[in-house]
């Protein structure tokens, strides 16, 4: 290995910066999962009967799946069996009463978010971004509520939505990702403790970016949040989620579900910057990020666009998908997934074309460094009625060093002869030639590497909201520190 490559290697092994733990009193329930635990969670959240029933249904299904040993094993990742009875399914910062304003949030938690660079005090916020902060199992603060309410937009924690808007929750919960969808989605449906809820009424363009910040803090807990976004006819909303977790030696499970519903002429943009703790450089610890995300373009001319930048987690298992039901609806998936050290990612999307003239675009950029294994898995399905459907898929892999891997599994199923499909794939390696060229012009090795990588990811970054694109680029540079060899 050359000295240049060594520098890159060191750069890629920089420490995870968000690995601290906040010392705070927790209200946590005993480890393990049973009907009693489900009832306890539901009771703690003072949920209406329909929610308890819904959870119990999901739990029974999950339980039968667990007995049948139906945990999905098809992904191109390896990990020891998860002991689902060894996890605590509910942990919340202890608080004496319901919060009425930000002043009542525990200052320790506020400090945690300050440290993460996400100030929750409204006046200090990035102009035009409303934040919902989820700490372990519960939402601790949602900002800019009043301003959003003026526009008629509901942006609150899932728990609050269950209390205040049960009719909307009842109507849409599980309508895109039913609890029977998969093993982790069933588990989430049974135990999910909070998350974000967004409702944008007819004809409203949400006046600001909405954002949720997820933070796992407690040890030996899982985080199971659920996000539901509904955009009524002609509505527009752009939503961003970010996530971090402390450094711990044991693996922690994160099994979230996100459901999006777009009605006629509605647009939802959903962006993720995922930076869960990836484990140390020997592969010890890190988050198992097993997430089900799906959007339904229910209405005509509706559009759902997923953009993800995945740099964290020990294992990522995630396929943000679109069901293109309405005629002329559009689904998009833009992804950058980076695996360094011993990280594994099996990620991609599903585009299910049902309506006429539906269109989907997939741009996936996988970066593997160190011993990282990066898999793109994507399905494009054109159903019988989807006359005039079109798909464009591009999946590119960039290898840094010679111990990592890039894998591509495209699935294409076409049942309508009028469909037009395009698929492009390329794999390249950051060569010493490229590095040397940039260095010869005066750029330092680390700047040269991040320039090459951000060039590779450009198509995806330009889909992110401005301030997050900058963030994502920085994150990528940090996550890469230490990876050529």
Partner 1 sequence: MSLLEIRNLHVSVGGNEILKGIDLTVNAGEVHSIMGPNGSGKSTLAQVLARRDAYQVTEGSILFEGKNLLEMKPEEAACEGLFLAFQYPVEIPGIGNTYFLRSALNAQRKHRGQDEMDAMDFLPMFREKLKLLEMDDKLMNRSLNEGFSGGEKKRNEILQMAVLEPKLAILDETDSGLDIDALRIVAQGVNSLRSPERAMVVVTHYQRLLNYIVPDFVHVLVDGRIVRSGGKELALELEEKGYSWTEHEPVGARA
Q: Which residues bind partner 1 (CB under 8 A)?
A: 2-4, 431-434, 436-445, 447, 451-452, 454-459
Q: State the minimum distance, in angstroms, from the CB of residue 448 to partner 1.
A: 8
Q: Identify whether the C-beta of residue 201 lies closer than 8 Å to the C-beta of residue 230.
A: no
Q: State the minimum distance, in angstroms, from the CB of residue 469 to partner 1.
A: 13
Q: State the minimum distance, in angstroms, from the CB of residue 116 to partner 1.
A: 29
User: How far is CA 417 from each of CA 213, 378, 384, rounded to the nearest angstrom?
Assistant: 44, 20, 9
Q: State the minimum distance, in angstroms, from the CB of residue 440 to partner 1.
A: 5
- Six token digits for residue 63: 């339980």
| Identity of the residue, 236 or 436, whose beta carbon is nearer to partner 1 in the bound complex | 436
Q: State the minimum distance, in angstroms, from the CB of residue 438 to partner 1.
A: 8
CA distance between the termini of the chain = 6
- Six token digits for residue 169: 């929750």
- Six token digits for residue 92: 């919340």
Query: Which residues is 308 bridged to in the sheet?
Result: 272, 335
In sequence order, which residues have a C-beta less than 8 Å from that of residue 282 and are 6 or more positions away? 341, 342
Q: Write out the H or E segment, with its range, that includes residue 115.
A: helix 107-115
Q: State the minimum distance, in angstroms, from the CB of residue 406 to partner 1.
A: 16
Q: Identify whether the C-beta of residue 112 lies closer than 8 Å to the C-beta of residue 217.
A: yes
| Identity of the residue, 184 or 456, whose beta carbon is nearer to partner 1 in the bound complex | 456
| Identity of the residue, 233 or 447, whose beta carbon is nearer to partner 1 in the bound complex | 447
Q: Write out the H or E segment, with its range, that includes residue 457.
A: helix 445-461
Q: State the minimum distance, in angstroms, from the CB of residue 128 to partner 1.
A: 26
Q: How far apart are CA 227 and CA 256, in angstroms?
A: 8
| Identity of the residue, 192 or 456, whose beta carbon is nearer to partner 1 in the bound complex | 456
| Identity of the residue, 115 or 458, whose beta carbon is nearer to partner 1 in the bound complex | 458
How remote is the C-alpha of 62 from its chain's centroid? 22
| Identity of the residue, 297 or 400, whose beta carbon is nearer to partner 1 in the bound complex | 400
Indicate left, alpha or beta for 123 from its phi (over 0: left) and psi (-120 to 50: alpha). Answer: alpha
- Of 181, 205, 212, 132, the closest CA to residue 293 belongs to 181
Q: State the minimum distance, in angstroms, from the CB of residue 400 to partner 1.
A: 14
| Identity of the residue, 43 or 470, whose beta carbon is nearer to partner 1 in the bound complex | 470
Q: How far apart are CA 472 and CA 466, in angstroms?
A: 10
| Identity of the residue, 34 or 428, whose beta carbon is nearer to partner 1 in the bound complex | 428
């Amino acid at each position: 290995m050359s000295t240049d490559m060594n520098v890159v290697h060191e750069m890629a092994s920089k420490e995870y910066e968000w690995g601290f733990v906040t010392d705070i009193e927790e209200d946590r329930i005993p480890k393990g999962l049973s009907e009693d635990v489900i009832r306890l969670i539901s009771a703690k959240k003072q949920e209406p009967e329909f929610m308890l029933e819904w959870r119990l249904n999901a739990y029974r299904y999950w339980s039968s799946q667990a007995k049948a040993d139906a945990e999905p094993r098809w992904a191109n990742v390896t990990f020891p069996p998860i002991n689902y009875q060894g996890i605590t399914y509910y942990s919340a910062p202890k608080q004496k009463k319901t919060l009425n304003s930000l002043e009542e949030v525990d200052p320790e938690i506020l400090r945690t978010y300050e440290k993460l660079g996400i100030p929750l005090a409204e006046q200090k916020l990035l102009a035009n971004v409303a934040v919902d902060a989820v700490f372990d199992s519960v939402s601790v603060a949602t900002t800019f509520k009043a301003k959003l309410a003026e526009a008629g937009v509901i942006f609150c924690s899932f728990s609050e939505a269950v209390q205040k808007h049960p009719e909307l929750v009842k109507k849409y919960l599980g309508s895109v990702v039913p609890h029977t969808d998969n093993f982790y989605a069933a588990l989430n449906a049974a135990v999910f403790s909070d998350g974000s809820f967004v409702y944008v009424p007819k004809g409203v363009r949400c006046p600001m970016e909405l954002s949720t910040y997820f933070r796992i803090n407690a040890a030996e807990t899982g985080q199971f949040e659920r996000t539901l976004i509904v955009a009524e006819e002609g509505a527009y909303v752009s939503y961003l989620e970010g996530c971090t977790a402390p450094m711990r030696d044991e693996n922690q499970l994160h099994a979230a579900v996100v459901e999006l519903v777009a009605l006629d002429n509605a647009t939802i943009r959903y962006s993720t910057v995922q930076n869960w703790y990836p484990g140390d450089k020997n592969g010890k610890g890190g988050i198992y990020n097993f997430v089900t995300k799906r959007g339904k373009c229910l209405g005509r001319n509706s559009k759902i666009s997923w953009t993800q930048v995945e740099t964290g987690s020990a294992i990522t298992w995630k396929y943000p998908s679109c069901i293109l039901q309405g005629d002329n609806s559009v689904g998009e998936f833009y992804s950058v997934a980076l695996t360094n050290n011993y990280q594994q990612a099996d990620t991609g999307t599903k585009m299910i074309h049902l309506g006429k003239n539906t269109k989907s675009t997939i741009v996936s950029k996988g970066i593997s460094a160190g011993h990282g294994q990066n898999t793109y898995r994507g399905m494009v399905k054109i159903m019988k009625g989807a006359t005039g459907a079109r798909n464009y898929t591009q999946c590119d892999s960039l290898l840094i060093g010679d111990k990592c891997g890039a894998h591509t599994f495209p699935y294409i199923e076409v049942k309508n002869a009028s469909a037009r499909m395009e698929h492009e794939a390329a794999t390249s390696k950051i060569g010493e030639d490229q590095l040397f060229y940039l260095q010869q012009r005066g750029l330092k090795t680390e700047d040269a590497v991040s320039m090459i990588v951000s060039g590779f990811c450009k198509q995806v970054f330009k889909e992110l909201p401005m301030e997050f694109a900058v963030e994502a680029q920085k994150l990528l540079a940090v996550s890469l520190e230490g990876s050529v060899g």
